[in-house]
């Protein structure tokens, strides 16, 4: 059966759906090349009102596509479905059943309503089919921080960690399959714990494997970055980048968000890391228009964005999520104010991205080739800065390149010096 996947949301969601795609192909199903999909799988996100709206739009669009005599089958998975159920040609598959999508497709009429399995969140086969050199490896799921604005604990449940031995085995399989950048994913990877093994101990173990590859930590809470982890950030196999969640630069708003850190503590952490690695790449998330956010609170956020020197800022306008404390808070911010503040953050972030990439102008970088299109090979350096090389290069190999900043495209262009 031919399938098409439409995916929204976080890196964890992408990691899981990559594994679903691998499992489908291993079971004889094939990716659709055009509009000939017999099954459309929509991997949804519920973090914001906008993402839920996009999910509904994708469902309506898929339902309206031409189909065979039996109609097109649609599977909605991810964080929107709620409970396992089938409504005509639409199957709603929550995260606890996502790994069973290949079975659901085969047993569409009689899959029933089985109880979720213990450890179901880690029942995915690591994805081994891809046209890129980078892959997500899920190590953790769930969250119990209950930030006042966040629906994730309600849709993802309590924290769970994949056993360290299994993570190491999956890393070996992915390296054997040709991947060279392994991106560790989870809801709160900083909360990883398998017995005495915390995140730093797990990463140290993953870095000890043989071969040329990188480990990428990406998204993490500042509360989870301890001295042991900081020491590992200078390792030659670590990507020198963290997506260090911020949300606000105002202590008052951070407290209302239930974030448990201050702007001073956040700034101290970024300064400490950059003290050892001056060009370390920080990206982040910011919410504007949280209930009660004053102009002064917002200026504090802009100030911290400048001080931390983020190369990219994911900017979200606050939207109340059902079941969260923030949804009941008073003193809401008008939508036009949210839009204005969002625009200012985006403008500042664009300038800072250009400034950060300018640090690599005329410098050597270690480029990992990812994919080639129209004679241009794209990939990233060891600081997760995007690079374009005007050559057709093999996927998944390292090259030393001298980079120049293309200010108009806000990307680095690279000239190969030698193959590593």
Q: How do residues 38-57 score in pLDDT, each as one tens digit?
A: 999 999 998 888 899 999 99
Domain range 121-358, its CATH number among 2.60.40.10, 3.30.70.370, 3.80.30.20, 3.40.50.2300: 3.80.30.20
**Cα gap 301→344, rounded to integer Å:** 11
Among 213-217, 291-295, 372-376, whose mean pLDDT is lowest? 372-376
pLDDT of residue 114: 81
DSSP readout, 381-403?
A: -TT--EEEESS---TT-EEEEEE
Indicate if the pLDDT at residue 10 is higher than 90.
no
pLDDT of residue 409: 82
- 2.40.50.140, 3.30.450.40, 1.20.1440.230, 2.40.160.10: which CATH number matches 364-419? 2.40.50.140
Torsion of CA 241, 243, 244, 250, to 10 degrees: 130
DSSP state, residue 126: P
Per-residue pLDDT reduced to its tens digit, 219-255: 999 999 999 999 999 999 999 999 999 999 999 999 9
**What φ, ψ does residue 247 adopt, rounded to 5°?**
80, -45
Predicted pLDDT at 130: 63
pLDDT at 26: 87
Least confident of 64-73, 140-149, 200-209, 409-418: 64-73
What is the overall mean pLDDT for the chain?
A: 92
pLDDT of residue 357: 96
pLDDT of 72: 83
pLDDT at 304 (0 to 100): 98
Cα distance between residue 338 and residue 328, in whole Å:
18
Q: Which pLDDT does position 81 carry in this prediction?
A: 83
Task: Give the integer Cα–Cα distance in Å for 381 and 181.
Answer: 11
Does pLDDT of 131 surpass 70? no
Give the residue with greater pLDDT, 65 vs 193: 193
Identify the architecture of domain 2-120 in CATH.
3-Layer(aba) Sandwich (3.40)
Query: Per-residue DSSP letters for 145-213?
Result: ---TT--HHHHH-S-EE--HHHHHHHHHHHHHTT--EEEEE-SSGGG-EETTEEHHHHHHHHTTSSSS-
pLDDT at 420 over 60: no
Kindly state the average pLDDT of the residues 310-314. Answer: 97
CB-facing half-sphere around the CA of 324: CA atoms within 13 A: 28
In terms of pLDDT, which residue wins out, 340 or 50? 340
Q: Which residue has the tokens 């079975």?
A: 103
Residues paired with residue 182 on neighbouring β-strands, in sequence order: 135, 215
Examine the pLDDT at 69 and tell me if it is beyond 60.
no
Question: Domain ranges in the chain?
Answer: 2-120, 121-358, 364-419
Does residue 67 surpass a pLDDT of 80?
no
Tokens representing 56? 């509904």
Query: pLDDT value at position 385?
Result: 96
pLDDT of 124 reads: 75
pLDDT tens track for 357-416: 999 999 999 999 999 999 999 999 999 999 999 999 999 999 999 999 998 888 899 999
Percent of the chain residues past pLDDT 90, beyond the cut: 76
Strand partners, 86: 91
């Amino acid at each position: 059966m031919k399938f098409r996947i439409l995916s929204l949301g976080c890196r964890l969601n992408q990691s899981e759906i990559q594994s679903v795609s691998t499992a489908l192909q291993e079971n004889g199903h094939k990716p659709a090349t055009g509009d000939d999909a017999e099954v459309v799988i929509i991997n949804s996100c519920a973090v914001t009102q906008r993402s839920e709206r996009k999910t509904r739009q994708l469902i309506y669009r898929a339902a309206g596509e031409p189909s065979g005599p039996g109609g097109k089958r649609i599977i909605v998975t991810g964080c929107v479905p709620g409970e396992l159920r089938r409504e005509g040609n639409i199957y709603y598959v929550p995260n606890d059943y996502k790994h069973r999508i290949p079975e659901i497709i085969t047993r569409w009429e009689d899959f029933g309503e089985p109880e979720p399995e213990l450890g179901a969140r880690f029942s995915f086969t690591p994805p081994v089919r891809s046209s890129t050199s980078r892959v997500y490896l899920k190590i953790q799921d769930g969250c119990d921080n209950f930030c006042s604005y966040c629906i994730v604990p309600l849709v993802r449940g309590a924290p769970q960690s994949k056993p360290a031995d299994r993570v190491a085995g999956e890393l070996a399989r992915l390296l054997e399959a040709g991947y060279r950048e392994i991106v560790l994913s989870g809801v709160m990877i900083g909360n990883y714990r398998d017995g005495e093994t915390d995140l730093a101990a797990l990463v140290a173990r993953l870095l000890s494997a043989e071969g040329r590859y990188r480990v990428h930590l990406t998204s993490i809470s500042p509360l989870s970055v301890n001295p042991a982890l900081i020491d590992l950030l200078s390792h030659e196999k670590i990507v020198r980048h963290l997506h260090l969640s911020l949300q606000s630069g105002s202590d008052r708003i951070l407290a209302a968000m239930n974030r448990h850190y201050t702007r001073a503590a956040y700034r101290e952490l970024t300064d400490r890391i950059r003290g050892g690695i001056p060009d370390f790449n920080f990206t982040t998330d910011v919410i504007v228009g949280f209930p009660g956010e004053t102009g002064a609170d917002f200026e504090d956020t802009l100030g911290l964005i400048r001080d931390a020197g983020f190369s990219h800022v994911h900017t979200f306008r606050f939207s109340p999520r059902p079941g969260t404390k923030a949804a009941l808070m008073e003193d809401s911010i008008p939508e036009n104010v949210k839009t204005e503040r969002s625009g200012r953050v985006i403008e500042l972030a664009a300038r800072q991205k250009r400034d950060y990439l300018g640090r690599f102008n005329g410098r050597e970088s270690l480029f990992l080739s990812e994919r080639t299109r129209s004679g241009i090979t794209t990939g990233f350096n060891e600081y997760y800065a995007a690079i374009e090389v005007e050559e057709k290069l093999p996927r998944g190999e390292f090259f030393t390149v001298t980079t120049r900043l293309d200010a108009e495209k806000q990307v680095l262009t690279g000239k190969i010096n030698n193959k590593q």
